[in-house]
């Protein structure tokens, strides 16, 4: 339970807010590279941390991220002409390059120096293997890109999908730091039964260990109250969730919170690695990025097809509703809040715990249903919520430390690539220190357990 | 005319408001029994007095009315599993019974007593012959169910329909306490002409007195300025509206306000009895319940068919727009504010006073058109508004008396069944004391007249 | 750049605001005569300066403009019966004539004088050759109608079209006082190329000077930085924009601001004369009126057809979206904010500067895209914005002068008809004093130049 003041601090991320200032210290995922497919292609709208922006790819392929409105008289740059190394406002032809410099002002006498005095709002961008990142913070030059393992991998090794979420980022992020809910929300009624309502967990990879994979659903179904152990690390937090598997082994699922809003979420044994990013659009909307990847080899065509099927995490664009003017394009899935996520009460009765098809929609039903910004003054956290509690503490502490004495935010200077941990069956004899020493990337800080 | 402060007091009914506290002293009609058709059926959303709730019928048929969000982490219980005597949240499987007790908490160690410490918001429910009532007040046990005559009658004796109204309850309730408007809003242009725009008034009952029924429209058309007489009673107010009928008789229509928002509205001579309930959804929306019934016998099939036709008060569900996520389901009629109630200006010119089809829609056009919450600081009440004025006084006085010295609200302890009065032709020689002594159920308090 | 306080003063026009008070000193265009086609026709909704009104034409053809809600109990007069010299509320039959007098109160005893004590809000109306004007100000009798040249012309000499604009009036008005934007926003990429994305500028009139008309696009394309010269006049402001044409001549386009929101905008050489009116619906919506006309003769059928084609300024009503309940009817064009004005990026690349079809939509894209009320604290005006700056000064000064010492607003007492100036090629030898003496109707006050 938070005070109203703490809840405001945690959830408000617009310009000038403490949490907004914290988020602005980090690079943020802004766009898929494919949304700006080629030099001089049409610009698109972006909304990030409560700011309206427009993104364009210039003649040399560089991406610019400008304030949505022309600094001259406020006309929308979205309608601008993207031509010859700059975006040109259609109102009076003023043209800005990716750095925000005004490079043409054709309705002003050539001898005027007015052009030099003007700067459009422009945020540095970087592009890395399919993702366009934006930096809205004060450092010049900006810090290095986040050292997330998947970020540098070739495109063929990964699948990336976005969804537009109609609620605050924090309640969505909390869902990822919650090891016990998979035994309920994402569970089939019969652990040996149909997996087709369970999303990607049920998608066989060609190199899975079949006997362990077969054991997994039963373990999740039988041990609904995992032991949760935490480790504070230099990048954020490492969470272990331990379930009883068989006489000699525990079933371990690891989750890593990478500040400020990345989560390496555990998949099934030998399934693709998985990272979520919960990038705030504004206080009441979030763009969730879901990245699944393989480090050792590209996905096969068959694997891509499965992950993009109705059950996977990467439903292709035609599963989305049209939304011409939506911020950041049309990323509202067809099962959404307006149609109760197409909940099927018969399926809920006979097949799956939730009656909702697919992990994304199951999570959305819970988190969007909490309201635009969840009221945390009236919740009742139990022993299973230790990692949610710790996540809030980390974010609140980092925001306060930055505001009060300019502390460097956690994770900003972590240099080794941060990588997810596999889901594994391990001998019961191993200690948490041994396990976290092996599986938590980054440096340990403090331990605690539920 | 009210002051702005009085208008706020009259219209605001959310948690913590004075009028909201008054309303919470009474049982409220929450749902049709048919909305929860069988044990363990899907739960549905309810919004009452500004509070979001979820209703479910448990394995033994009992109805529960819980806060909409799980007390644990706020996931919406609407998506919950309704199983074996409780509603189970899909997020972590916490299960609540109809009393709000947590009866299962499967992600918490069995030895924990955390479950016993937790209560979901739960309001007592009672079910009575087709209607589910909720009690949101402080008394434990709650008071007896309201002694409305129709409430206890078998289902075959009554027809009940709800509509979702896009305005505050008070301006809608005022329409029922307004005897003169029937000579205008609900009138045909030619009293002997087509009745098919006039709603249920024009629906012949098999046992009507045909000569008096034939006289009625002419009387209403000729005497547009009835004498209005009031009697304060223990349950609220008894209103008589007297029109000149023929040399020896007056035409009397009686209206009873039963606190806090029930009205027995007069029908035509020998027509079915009729009660409206204006249950506030929130400050700006109201669920109006319309109950028509016969005490002595069930409706015939033919009568039901007429009352459910396009002209009657009980248009069947397919006359309503779909609204998956609407509070309390889809109760928005197809003629509504968004399409100007399908007003037909030709019909207005040639056939009926309003040009709008059906009594409900005629009333809605006037009351919704006043704005979400009518501004009563700028009205001009005339002599015909005495019963509207008195209704406001009763509600304001009761709300203030409860707030200031905890006075028992009027009507709460009335024990004889409260029943409507028939519309009748009476000899001119009878006095108001004789008439009200005969026709006003309940105990008289004070008399007044316009 | 304005301060926040100045921006509020400029843009807020509701009851009681300084700018609202200024606007209320003038007659305002409220409706097309054709919206109330005949005596006793159905009333329609009007919203003007933030006030909800209802307009009706009585039995004798006179137009009334009443407050939207009945002064009795607030029922919407829009549903009223328009009959025998008055609008009758459907709730209780109270009837009001065009002056707001209550002429019938049938549910009140005939001997009561209550009727005489009551007045509905009613604004004087005047009708003049196709337009219904309303006066919402304090003078009784109201001032004379504005002496705009087109207002008195026969209907066959003019075409009038309205559009509903989703933003404040001031940012839209600014677009008309901005001589340089035509070289960009409304320009073809090739000045000799297709004109079909350029609106009415490309529409040949039968009596155009063909050689000058052919020269015009090239001049606009080559001289993007016209010299802008201003003249304050008794009616507002006269603006000249001078472009280099050929060795002996300048190309002059003149714009006149007639207080408070009329603009005579220049067309092509020998094109129809043109006046825009930016009448505020409320702070965030504007009704733009576009009037094109010929003084010397009626339009031919062919000319009307061209001006009403997809490229002209007068797309007929079926080009508009249905909007039954919209204020002032359905005046939202089919290319609008919700569909990004049907911007075509291929056309933008190959054919026209904006990629948007038609001058209206091009302007709307820029002005609606500035937000509901443009934030002028963060703009960067350049030398080309002198007339925009001066327009704001005039409006702000007039609003303050009225508020502080009741100054008669500019233009209110101008008596000669105010007429637009033709677009012309003039010898380079002429001075601004000579030119403005010839072309600025009204009396000069002060000169200035960019």
Structure confidence by residue, pLDDT tens digits, B5-64: 999 999 999 999 999 999 999 999 999 999 999 999 999 999 999 999 999 999 999 999
Nearest-Cα residue of chain C relative to residue B341? C79
Structure confidence by residue, pLDDT tens digits, B136-189: 999 999 999 998 999 989 999 999 988 999 999 999 999 999 999 999 999 999
Q: Neighbours of A (≥3 Cβ pairs closer than 8 A)?
A: B, C
> B151, B122, B391: which is closest to B289 by C-alpha?
B151
Segment among B77-91, B273-287, C78-92, C215-229 with least mean pLDDT: C215-229
d(CA C39, CA C34): 12
Interface test with B, best of A184, A222, A228, A364 (most B CBs within 10 A): A184
Cα A420–chain centre separation:
14
C32 forms beta bridges with C131
d(CA A100, CA C38): 58
B72:A380 CB<8 A: yes
Kind of pairing between the strands at A236-246 and A285-293:
unpaired
Structure confidence by residue, pLDDT tens digits, A82-104: 999 999 999 999 999 999 999 99
**Cβ-based burial of B196 (10 A; exposed 0-12, middle 13-18, buried ≥19):** middle
**Cβ-based burial of A127 (10 A; exposed 0-12, middle 13-18, buried ≥19):** middle
C371:A71 CB<8 A: no
Tokens coding B175: 């329409």
Interface test with B, best of A369, A378, A392 (most B CBs within 10 A): A369
Q: Sorting pLDDT into bands at 50, 70 and 90, what band is A323?
A: very low
CA dihedral C8, C10, C11, C16 (to 10 degrees): 80
Segment among A70-74, A435-439, B343-347, C306-310 with least mean pLDDT: C306-310
Choice between B192 and A13, residue whose per-residue pLDDT is larger: A13
**Cβ-based burial of C64 (10 A; exposed 0-12, middle 13-18, buried ≥19):** buried
Secondary structure (DSSP) of B34-91: GGS-STTPPPEEEEETTEEEEEEE-TTS-EEEEESB-TTT--BGGG-EEETTEEE-TT
d(CA C450, CA C441): 21
Q: From the list C375, C383, C385, which residue is nearest A109 (CB)?
A: C383
Report pLDDT for A406. Answer: 96
Q: From the list B183, B367, B382, which residue is nearest C114 (CB)?
A: B382
Structure confidence by residue, pLDDT tens digits, A394-404: 999 999 999 99
Q: Neighbours of B (≥3 Cβ pairs closer than 8 A)?
A: A, C
Segment among B328-342, C217-231, C365-379 with least mean pLDDT: B328-342
Report pLDDT for B311. Answer: 61
Report pLDDT for B193. Answer: 61
Report pLDDT for C207. Answer: 59
Interface test with B, best of A189, A220, A384, A388 (most B CBs within 10 A): A384
**Cβ-based burial of C292 (10 A; exposed 0-12, middle 13-18, buried ≥19):** buried
Q: Sorting pLDDT into bands at 50, 70 and 90, what band is A196?
A: very low
Secondary structure (DSSP) of B385-429: GHHHHHHHHHHHHHHHHHHHH-PPPTTTT--SPB-----EEEETT
A74:C379 CB<8 A: yes
Secondary structure (DSSP) of B138-180: S-SS--PPP-BGGGGS-GGGEEEEEEEESS-HHHHHHHHT-GG
Q: Give the global pTM.
A: 0.93
Nearest-Cα residue of chain C relative to residue B378? C71
Kind of pairing between the strands at A102-104 and A95-96:
antiparallel
Q: From the list B337, B369, B383, which residue is nearest C108 (CB)?
A: B383
C91:B181 CB<8 A: yes
Chain B partners within 8 Å of C114 (Cβ): 382-383
Q: Sorting pLDDT into bands at 50, 70 and 90, what band is A441?
A: confident
**Mean local confidence (pLDDT), C384-399:** 97
Contact between A65 and A58 under an 8 Å Cβ cutoff? The reply is: no
Chain C partners within 8 Å of B378 (Cβ): 71, 74
Q: Which helix (H) or strand (E) holds A449?
A: strand A444-449
Which residues from C are below 8 Å from A when comparing CB atoms? 171, 174, 180-181, 183-185, 224-225, 337-341, 343, 345, 348, 353-356, 362, 365-367, 369-371, 374-376, 378-385, 388
End-to-end CA distance of chain A: 17
Q: From the list A74, A109, A324, which residue is nearest C225 (CB)?
A: A109
Structure confidence by residue, pLDDT tens digits, C175-200: 999 999 999 999 999 877 655 444 44
d(CA B4, CA B375): 8
Which residues from A are below 8 Å from B when comparing CB atoms? 171, 174, 180-181, 183-185, 224-225, 337-341, 343, 345, 348, 353-356, 362, 365-367, 369-371, 374-375, 378-385, 388
**Mean local confidence (pLDDT), B407-434:** 89
Q: What is the phi-psi region of residue B74: left when phi exceeds 0, alpha when psi lies from -120 to 50, beta otherwise?
A: left
Find all residues with CB under 8 Å of A157, minimum gap 6, and list them.
Answer: A150, A293, A294, A295, A297, A298, A299
> B247, B188, B29, B203: which is closest to B123 by C-alpha?
B29
Rounded to the nearest angstrom, the minimum Cα separation between B85 and chain C is 48
Structure confidence by residue, pLDDT tens digits, C120-178: 999 999 999 899 999 999 999 999 999 899 998 999 999 998 999 999 999 999 999 99
> C240, C182, C204, C258: which is closest to C426 by C-alpha?
C240
A92:C384 CB<8 A: yes
Mean pLDDT rounded to a whole number for chain C = 89
A107:C388 CB<8 A: no
Phi, psi of C272 (to 5 degrees): -60, 150
Kind of pairing between the strands at C285-293 and C158-165:
antiparallel
What's the Cα-to-Cα distance from A110 to each of A31, A105, A305, rounded to whole Å? Answer: 36, 8, 56
Report pLDDT for B205. Answer: 55
Choice between B121 and C117, residue whose per-residue pLDDT is larger: B121
Interface test with A, best of B15, B66, B79, B80 (most A CBs within 10 A): B79
Tokens coding A235: 């990048």
Q: From the list A180, A338, A345, which residue is nearest B42 (CB)?
A: A345
pLDDT at B266 over 60: yes
């Amino acid at each position: 339970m938070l005070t109203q003041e703490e809840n405001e601090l945690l959830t408000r991320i617009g310009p000038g807010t403490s949490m907004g200032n914290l988020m602005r210290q980090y690079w943020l995922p802004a766009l898929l590279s494919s949304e700006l497919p080629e030099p001089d292609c049409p610009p698109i709208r972006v909304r990030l941390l409560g700011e309206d922006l427009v993104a364009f790819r210039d003649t040399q392929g560089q991406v610019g991220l400008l304030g949505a409105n022309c600094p001259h008289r406020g006309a929308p740059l979205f309608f601008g002409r993207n031509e010859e190394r700059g975006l040109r406002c259609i109102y009076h032809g003023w043209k800005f390059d990716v750095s925000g410099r005004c490079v043409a002002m054709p309705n002003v006498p050539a001898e005027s120096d007015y052009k030099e005095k003007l700067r459009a709002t422009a945020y540095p961008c970087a592009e890395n293997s399919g993702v366009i990142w934006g930096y809205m913070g004060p450092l010049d030059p900006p810090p290095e890109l986040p050292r997330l393992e998947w970020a540098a991998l070739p495109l063929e090794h990964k699948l990336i999908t976005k969804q537009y979420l109609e609620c605050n980022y924090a309640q969505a992020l909390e869902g990822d730091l919650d090891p016990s809910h998979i035994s309920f929300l994402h569970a089939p009624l019969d652990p040996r039964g149909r997996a087709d309502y369970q999303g990607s967990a049920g998608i066989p990879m060609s190199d899975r260990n079949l006997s362990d994979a077969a054991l997994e659903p039963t373990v999740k179904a039988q041990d609904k109250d995992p032991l949760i152990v935490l480790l504070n690390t230099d990048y954020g937090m490492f969470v272990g969730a331990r379930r009883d598997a068989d006489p000699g082994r525990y079933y371990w699922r690891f989750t890593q919170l990478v500040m400020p809003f990345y989560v390496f979420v555990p998949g099934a044994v030998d399934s693709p690695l998985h990272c979520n990013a919960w990038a705030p659009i504004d206080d009441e909307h979030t763009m969730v990025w879901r990245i699944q990847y393989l480090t050792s080899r590209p996905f096969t065509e068959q694997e891509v097809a499965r992950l993009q099927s109705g059950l996977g995490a990467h439903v292709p664009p035609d599963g989305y509703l049209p939304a011409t003017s939506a911020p950041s394009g049309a990323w509202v899935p067809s099962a959404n809040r307006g149609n109760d996520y197409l909940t099927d009460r018969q399926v809920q009765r006979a097949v799956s715990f939730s009656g909702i098809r697919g992990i994304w929609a199951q999570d959305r039903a819970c988190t969007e249903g909490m309201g635009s910004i969840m009221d945390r003054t009236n919740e009742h956290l139990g022993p299973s919520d230790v990692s949610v509690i710790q996540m809030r503490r980390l974010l609140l502490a980092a925001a306060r430390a930055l505001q009060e004495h300019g502390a460097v935010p956690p994770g900003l200077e972590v240099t080794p690539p941060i990588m997810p941990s596999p889901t594994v069956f391990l001998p019961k004899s191993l200690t948490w220190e041994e396990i976290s020493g092996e599986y938590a990337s980054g440096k340990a800080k403090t331990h605690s357990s539920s």
